[in-house]
Amino acid sequence: MLNPIADVAGFARRVIAWQRESGRHDLPWQGTRDPYRIWLSEIMLQQTQVATVAGYYTRFLQRFPDVASLARASQDDVMPYWAGLGYYARARNLHRCARTVLEQYDGRFPHGIDDLGQLPGIGRSTAAAIAVFAFGARHPIMDGNVKRVFTRYFGIAGDTSRRAVEQSLWAAAHSVVAAAPAKADIAAYIQGLMDLGASLCSRTRPRCDACPLASDCYARRTATQGDFPTRKNRKARPERHCQMLILRRDGCVLLEQRPAPGIWGGLWSLPQYDDPEAMRTALWNWGLAPAQASPLEGLQHAFSHFTLHIEPWLAQAGASSLAQPAPAQAWRRIDELDSAALPAPVKKLLARVF
């Protein structure tokens, strides 16, 4: 049941006033109406913390200052500037989207939320954020932080990934925007919602005493802040194991480009094998006996849906070997690895060796 004393008419006004006084105003993507920069920040911020995104955002813009420069680059040019941010389908969709904007819209992002939502990698909430921040539109958004604020304030229970609960959240969000005064700064309201969720209305130990919505917040009045959003029944995360080969030769290391779509799609990784037999076969193909490979300390990497246990092996390919890399493989100079598009755990492994 929705909060019976919710102040829908004053909700946006209170959030806007708080944002102007206490919200974030120094993020690198603020203070612009450039849809390219806003779009880039919104994609990077999906499932990624602000502190992580800030440095990537600045470096990405230095290399690709506008949508045309991004569209005309190759995917191999783009991936090194995303390596480490995770969820690499975002980077591939980012590149596709830039090309679509250049080819179909002459390099100018469309203003309408429906057209924005049809672009690769842009969903309902991201389209709304771009329309609000770049074009002054009046639309609600719904990210993880906003869901937390809305479930607590309105008392919306249930798994937020379920369609019925999601529809209730969007209905509440639309009602707030519709009730906001015609001259309300919707951009400040949207930013304020995200700031509230990221600061005061945190997952644990929310600072309700400083919240502008505290007086009529359902969760605060019923002392049930910890019950919202409703917690999911989490399944045990599966464990997977693999072996990776660090093969050196003439100041280079052998890398393998991962296929897309897939884990680390488009990035360059170490040759990976699911079992020792496959590793032994790979070594024989390079003219090496398994005993010529040395085991290194293992590494564990947590993905969103499984944990990967990596067992690395180090070997030196002989100068006389006639073996050639497979089509998706290439030798990369060790002193150039810093500029390669490598997954974070592979970077850690190589840093231990070189």
For residue range 16-35, what is the model confidence (pLDDT) as tens digits?
Answer: 999 999 999 999 999 999 99
232 located within any domain: no
Asked if residue 251 and residue 176 are part of one domain, the reply reads: no
* pLDDT at site 227: 96
* pLDDT at site 1: 52
C-alpha span between 41 and 132 (Å, rounded): 14
Asked if residue 194 and residue 279 are part of one domain, the reply reads: no
Asked if residue 35 and residue 151 are part of one domain, the reply reads: yes
C-alpha span between 343 and 252 (Å, rounded): 18
C-alpha span between 124 and 115 (Å, rounded): 11
Domain extent for 134: 8-227
145 located within any domain: yes
233 located within any domain: no
* pLDDT at site 321: 67
pLDDT band at 154 (very low <50, low <70, confident <90, very high): very high
Q: Give the CATH number for residue 304.
A: 3.90.79.10
Asked if residue 258 and residue 195 are part of one domain, the reply reads: no
The total number of structural domains in the chain stands at: 2
Asked if residue 200 and residue 67 are part of one domain, the reply reads: yes
Pairing verdict, β 239-249 and 307-316: parallel
Q: Among residues 21, 42, 103, 239, which one is catalytic?
A: 42
Residues with Cβ within 8 Å of residue 248, at least 6 apart in sequence: 314, 315, 316, 317, 334
Residue 319, pLDDT above cutoff 70: no
C-alpha span between 74 and 341 (Å, rounded): 13
178 located within any domain: yes
C-alpha span between 61 and 338 (Å, rounded): 19
Asked if residue 344 and residue 214 are part of one domain, the reply reads: no
* pLDDT at site 85: 93
Tokens 């609960």 sit at which residue?
Answer: 165
3 located within any domain: no
Closest CA to 169 of 145, 201, 137: 145
Report the pLDDT averaged over residues 116-130: 97
Asked if residue 116 and residue 30 are part of one domain, the reply reads: yes
Residue 247, pLDDT above cutoff 80: yes
Asked if residue 95 and residue 166 are part of one domain, the reply reads: yes
* pLDDT at site 69: 98
Report the pLDDT averaged over residues 246-268: 93
Choose one of 198, 227, 256: the last residue of a domain.
227
Percent of the chain beyond pLDDT 70? 99
Asked if residue 145 and residue 292 are part of one domain, the reply reads: no
* pLDDT at site 253: 97
* pLDDT at site 58: 97
111 located within any domain: yes
pLDDT band at 271 (very low <50, low <70, confident <90, very high): very high
Asked if residue 252 and residue 205 are part of one domain, the reply reads: no
Tokens coding 9 = 């008419």
Contact (CB, 8 A) for 197 and 144: yes
Residues with Cβ within 8 Å of residue 178, at least 6 apart in sequence: none
* pLDDT at site 176: 97
Answer left, alpha or beta for residue 262, where phi above 0 means left and psi between -120 and 50 means alpha. Answer: left
Report the pLDDT averaged over residues 153-157: 97
* pLDDT at site 272: 96
Choose one of 199, 227, 255: the last residue of a domain.
227
Q: What are phi and psi of 45, to 5 degrees?
A: -80, -5
pLDDT band at 324 (very low <50, low <70, confident <90, very high): confident
Residue 91, pLDDT above cutoff 60: yes
pTM value?
0.89
Asked if residue 145 and residue 87 are part of one domain, the reply reads: yes
Mean of the per-residue pLDDT values for the chain? 95
* pLDDT at site 4: 87
Closest CA to 344 of 40, 48, 39: 48
Tokens 């932080």 sit at which residue?
Answer: 145
* pLDDT at site 124: 97
Q: Give the CATH number for residue 59.
A: 1.10.340.30
Q: At what angle do helices 163-179 and 8-22 cross, to 10 degrees?
A: 80
344 located within any domain: yes
184 located within any domain: yes
Choose one of 164, 193, 227: the last residue of a domain.
227
* pLDDT at site 2: 74
C-alpha span between 335 and 82 (Å, rounded): 20
Asked if residue 267 and residue 158 are part of one domain, the reply reads: no
Residue 256 annotated as catalytic: no
